[in-house]
Amino acid sequence: MSMSMAVRKIRDAWYADFRFMRERYRRKSPENSRRGAEAFERLLRQKLLSGESIDELAAVTKRTFKEFSKEWFKTYVVTNNKCSEQQSKETILRLHLIPFFGAMSLDEITSHSIEQYKRSHQATGAHPKTINNQLTVLKKLMHSAIEWGELETIPVIKCLRVPPSKIRFLSQDECHKLCGDFTELYWRSMVVVGLFTGMRLGELLGLQWEDVDFAEHLVHVRRAIVRGEVTSPKSHKSRSIPMSPSLDDLLFQMREPRGLVFHQEDGKPVTPKQAEGGLWRLCSRTGIEKIGWHGLRHTFASQLVMKNVPMRHVQQLLGHSSIVMTERYAHLAPHTLHDAVAVLDTPNAMFGHSVGTEKVRQLQAG
């Protein structure tokens, strides 16, 4: 026989929480205090030792996934996540996780049931990355259940392999074409800022004149407008991007005393749909295949990498929280690997002398 003793407080309620004969018992204390929970635990243990049932004293607290997810959203998600992240998690819970796991108690969710979930969503044609995003929400919810005393362990949750996606970016010639179209000056200016700063669309929409520092030639990225809400930049990190002389000159010509840099006639923020339409019209007039605003961000990063800008600097300019995100562009700079290996042939390098066939090649050439 094994027995351990514990009481714990879970969201303002005291519980007797212990193991007896390798089985866990958790019961809410009738008296909501530590002392009351300890007394209640002693009573439960005495009942178990004498072989009596404890079912009439208190019922096991087991909530369904649906019930717990509602509290988790109100308590954790609303408190810790930005508005756009809240909307994303709410959609994932409502449309995907609750329909599948909703009737299960948390401890009934197993690795097997999670694999069934993955298979059922794959059958609908969902992209592996989409399914992984849903699994990330499930994993975070279940970790919260452990922290709140609802679960002891969580099942293994394995993400799907995601095939590498092709990054679409503009060539220098295409950039020149876009920047050379002055038909709609407003959208041309916004495209130039996007190409020269790599800012996300939401960051462009939230850019204010107070963020443009002409004295230091910097654009400070301090906020974004996502789904109509003003919020912090992604990963909650502000950053400063140096302005090239041409960008500095463009913004100086556009400058206003205050307010949004890009706005509608009534001063309200530009909507993503309006921005998309403006960019696509520009592409159509210049004969360039349609590209989204994030494609301009890819272009900014790709052009920097191809011009041998260190990856760490590109990461800082893009505001990536991890260098792993930035390394998606590493294949655009194969010359850096050649340069790295070439140092072995320098006089003071590791080998110090030529080991190749340079003389043979000269003879063959002659």
Quick one: pLDDT at residue 143? 95
Tell whether 141 and 196 lie within a shared domain: no
Q: Is residue 354 part of a domain?
A: no
Tell whether 78 and 226 lie within a shared domain: no
CATH number at residue 92: 1.10.150.130
Tell whether 241 and 135 lie within a shared domain: no
Digitized pLDDT (tens) for each residue of the chain, 366 residues in all: 444 458 888 767 788 888 888 888 888 887 878 888 888 888 888 888 888 887 766 544 568 999 999 999 999 999 999 888 999 999 999 999 999 999 998 989 999 999 999 999 999 999 999 999 999 999 999 999 988 878 878 999 999 998 877 888 999 999 999 999 999 999 999 999 999 999 999 999 999 999 999 999 999 999 999 888 898 888 788 999 999 999 999 999 999 999 999 999 999 999 999 999 999 999 999 999 999 999 999 999 999 988 888 999 999 999 998 888 888 887 776 666 666 666 666 565 545 555 555 555 555 555
Range of the domain at 297: 172-332
**H or E element that contains 245:** helix 245-254
Quick one: pLDDT at residue 3? 44
Q: Is residue 365 part of a domain?
A: no
Q: Is residue 294 part of a domain?
A: yes
Q: Is residue 341 part of a domain?
A: no
Side-by-side strand order, sheet with 239-242: 212-213, 218-221, 239-242
How many C-beta neighbours within 10 Å does residue 309 have?
Answer: 14
Tell whether 208 and 99 lie within a shared domain: no
Which pTM was predicted? 0.68
Tell whether 305 and 179 lie within a shared domain: yes
Quick one: pLDDT at residue 243? 96
Q: Is residue 363 part of a domain?
A: no
Tell whether 222 and 260 lie within a shared domain: yes
**Residue 40 in contact with residue 30, Cβ under 8 Å?**
yes
Counting other chains too, the contacts that 296-300 makes at CB distance below 8 Å and 24 or more residues apart are 296/170, 296/191, 296/194, 296/195, 296/198, 297/194, 297/198, 297/199, 297/200, 298/167, 298/168, 298/169, 299/169, 299/170, 299/175, 299/195, 300/194, 300/195, 300/196, 300/197, 300/198
Tell whether 33 and 133 lie within a shared domain: no
Tell whether 139 and 109 lie within a shared domain: yes
Tell whether 121 and 73 lie within a shared domain: yes
Quick one: pLDDT at residue 234? 85
Residue type, 358: E
Tell whether 212 and 79 lie within a shared domain: no
Q: Is residue 258 part of a domain?
A: yes
Q: Is residue 60 part of a domain?
A: no
Tell whether 209 and 95 lie within a shared domain: no
How many independent structural domains does the chain possess?
3
Q: Is residue 305 part of a domain?
A: yes
CATH number at residue 304: 1.10.443.10
Tell whether 94 and 218 lie within a shared domain: no
Distance CA 151, CA 25 (A): 12
Quick one: pLDDT at residue 52? 84
